[in-house]
Amino acid sequence: MEISKIKELDEKINSFIVFDDDGVAKSAKTGKLAGLTIAIKSNICVNGLKATCASKTLENYVAPYDASVVEKIKREGAHIVGMTNMDEFACGSSGESSYFGATDNPSAPGHIPGGSSSGSAAAVAAGFADVAIGTDTGGSIRNPASHCGVVGFKPTYGVVSRYGLIDLAMSLDQIGSFGKDVRTAVKLLDVIAGHDPKDATSLKLDPSFYNFSKNLSCDMDGIRVGYAKEFDELIVDCGIKKLIHESMDKLSGAGAQIVDVNLPRLKIALPTYYLNVYVEFFSATRKYDGLRFGHKIEDACGEEVLRRIMLGSYISEKEHSGKYYKKALMARSVIRRELEGALKNVDVLVGPTVPKLPHKLGQRITDPRVMYAYDVFTVTANLAGTPAGVVPAGKVDGIPTGLQVMGNVLDDQKVLNVMAGFEGCR
Ligand code: GLN
């Protein structure tokens, strides 16, 4: 689509904060992504473009270098359209906390597109970009992928470099890809994955690990798929429950074997996640003191960001007594072990992405716990550092709903294969 056309249509959707009108981001003419357009989330550095994190704090911050993923994208020839809208500093599940205004859901107009990678998912859903980069700390790729009806994938922690990502909570953050279908999202993943000496947490794996497209297989025969009964207990919307069960039937029709598993501690994943995020985010934001980067964050940010800073500061202060954070770290290990246990006898877990349908734009949510509730099924993969992806499963009340596939650490290929297998039998 021509940039002028995208700009015109995006006036209603607001999926971009910045368009690269002047062609500041120059990409190679050839490469694995040649011919594809790409949208980049506004918390990732593209040399010469604004990386605002959708916050007034960084409203004038122009990135002085390329993130490692951006370097690779440029080298492989994808054309960068611009920087996408998002929840402020990636704190949110709806896209509404952006300083630049909310994003509409192109697949369910008038509803939130999900967040925090709201603009990236919406841009792909609207056809403004073939692929997009998002980040996922607790579900920010998977949640908007589900609401917008596109494919989103969060790799194993360390498979994609975080160098040049403006962090929310560095032990949970992971960059990943969006596409209209599994194959396109995987094409981007092939390019952005890989060891990066600039990121100390980047994994160094055998080169064959990174051949996701080449190794993609839709064959579901004999694949063992786990389903936790706790999913059913936590799904709020009956329509979603029905669709997820129909999806399991389709998988089994395609040859997969459905196995019951247990995740009894799924309920504590949400508080564990938020305690970890508060503390890490508080620490990450200390650099926004108004001297080096933009405005002082506490003077410029919105409600949710301020809440997290204040709670993170409080918890960190109290930490000498080991009251909260230490407990949250212990809970995190318990959750990780539980997920590993559930995955012992199966290839992947499959289940819902979100417990409820996206709310209407403008419907003000005052209790943060209501917003946090969207993340109940997604945070576990971040706490455990495991791969997870979402593939459209159908519609509930006319609104797209995605199926989530979760795997063990480094089982990214298995997750992608089940996503592709399900897409094929949809
Ligand atoms: N909704 C979650 C949060 O607000 C996840 C955000 C994310 O993954 N960036 O923290």
Neighbours of 341 (CB within 10 A): 12
- 19 forms bridges with which residues in the sheet? 82
Q: How does pLDDT run across 359-374, given as a tens digit for each residue?
A: 999 998 999 999 999 9
Domain count, the chain: 1
- Could you tell me which residues come within 8 angstroms of residue 218 by beta carbon, excluding any fewer than 6 positions away? 417, 420, 421, 423, 424
The two tokens of residue 137 are 């700390």
* Atom from ligand 1 closest to the CA of residue 374: 1
CA distance 177 to 57: 26
CA of 425 to the centre of ligand 1 (A): 31
Q: Give me the mean pLDDT over the 334-353 stretch.
A: 98
The rounded Å distance from CA 220 to ligand 1 centre is 31
Distance (angstroms) between ligand 1 centre and the Cα of 322 equals 25
The single residue of 98, 116, 117, 146 carrying the catalytic annotation is 116
CA-CA distances (angstroms) from residue 165 to 138, 158, 362, 385, 387? 16, 13, 30, 17, 19
Residue 288: phi, psi to the nearest 5? -90, 70
The stretch 326-338 carries a mean pLDDT of 96
Q: Is the CB of 90 under 6 A from ligand 1?
A: yes
The pTM is what?
Answer: 0.98
What is the predicted pLDDT for the residue at 292?
Answer: 87
Q: What is the rounded average pLDDT of the residues 151-176?
A: 98
The CATH number that applies at residue 327 is 3.90.1300.10
Give residue 321's pLDDT. Answer: 67
Q: How many A from CA of 141 to the centre of ligand 1?
A: 9
> Which residues are 80's β-sheet partners?
38
**pLDDT the model gives residue 7:** 98
Active site residue 72: no
The active-site residue, picked from 140, 146, 177, 202, is 140
d(CA 143, CA 146): 5
Ligand 1 centroid from CA 236, angstroms:
20
Please state, for a pLDDT cut of 90, what percent of the chain lies above it: 96
Q: Is the CB of 140 under 6 A from ligand 1?
A: yes
Q: What is the pLDDT of residues 373-393, one digit of tens each?
A: 999 999 999 999 999 999 999
* Residue 317: predicted pLDDT: 86
396 alpha carbon – ligand 1 mean position (Å): 23
The pLDDT, as a whole number, for residue 293 is 84
Under a CB-based contact definition with an 8 Å cutoff, are residues 132 and 123 in contact? Answer: yes
pLDDT tens for 182-237 read: 999 999 999 999 999 999 999 999 999 999 999 999 999 999 999 999 999 999 99
The answer to whether the CB of 136 is under 6 A from ligand 1 is yes
92 lines ligand 1 (CB under 6 A): yes
The answer, yes or no, to whether any atom of ligand 1 lies below 6 A from the CB of 116, is yes
Mutate to test the pocket of ligand 1, among 93, 142, 153 (most ligand atoms within 8 A of CB): 93
Q: Given the CA of residue 135, which atom of ligand 1 is nearest to it?
A: 9
pLDDT band at 323 (very low <50, low <70, confident <90, very high): confident
- Choosing from 112, 142, 168 the residue with most ligand 1 atoms within 8 A of its CB, the one to mutate for a pocket test is 168
Residue 165: which domain range? 3-425
Burial of 197 (0-12, 13-18, 19+ CB in 10 A): exposed
* Three-state secondary structure string covering the chain: CCHHHHHHHHHHHCCEEEECCCCCCCCCCCCCCCCCEEEEECCECCCCCECCCCCHHHCCCECCCCCHHHHHHHHCCCEEEEEECCCHHHCCCCCCCCCCCCCCCCCCCCECCCCCCHHHHHHHHCCCCCEEEEEECCCCCHHHHHHHCCEEEECCCCCECCCCECCCCCCCCEEEEEECCHHHHHHHHHHHECCCCCCCCCCCCCHHHHCCCCCCCCCCCCCEEEEEHHHHHHCCCHHHHHHHHHHHHHHHHCCCEEEEECCCCHHHHHHHHHHHHHHHHHHHHHHCECCCCCCEHHHHCCHHHHHHHHHHHHHHHHHHHCCCHHHHHHHHHHHHHHHHHHCCCCCEEEEECCCCCCCECCCCCCCHHHHHHHHCCCHHHHHHCCCEEEEEEEEECCEEEEEEEECCCCCHHHHHHHHHHHHHHC
Judged against a pLDDT cut of 90, whether residue 320 lies above it is answered with no
Assess whether 41 carries a catalytic annotation. Answer: yes
Peptide bond into 116 cis (omega under 30): yes
- Categorize the per-residue pLDDT at 16 as very low, low, confident or very high, splitting at 50, 70 and 90: very high
pLDDT in tens, 43-77: 999 999 999 999 999 999 999 999 999 999 999 99
**Does the pLDDT at position 319 exceed 80?**
no
Residue 152, ligand 1, Cβ within 6 A: no
- Contact in structure between 326 and 206 (CB atoms under 8 Å): no
With a 6 Å cutoff on the Cβ, whether 139 touches ligand 1 is yes
pLDDT of residue 364: 87
If one residue of 53, 91, 276 were mutated to test the ligand 1 pocket, choosing by the most ligand atoms within 8 A of its CB, it would be 91
Residue 186 is predicted with a pLDDT of: 98
Task: Tell me what pLDDT residue 318 has.
Answer: 72
29-45 confidence digits (pLDDT tens): 999 999 999 999 999 99
Q: What is the pLDDT of residue 24?
A: 97
Ligand 1 proximity of 173 Cβ (cutoff 6 Å)? no
169 C-alpha vs ligand 1 centroid, how far in Å? 9
Q: By alpha-carbon position, which residue is closest to atom 4 of ligand 1? A: 92
Let me know if 323 is a catalytic residue.
no
- pLDDT mean across residues, the chain: 97
Residues 284-303: what's their mean pLDDT? 95
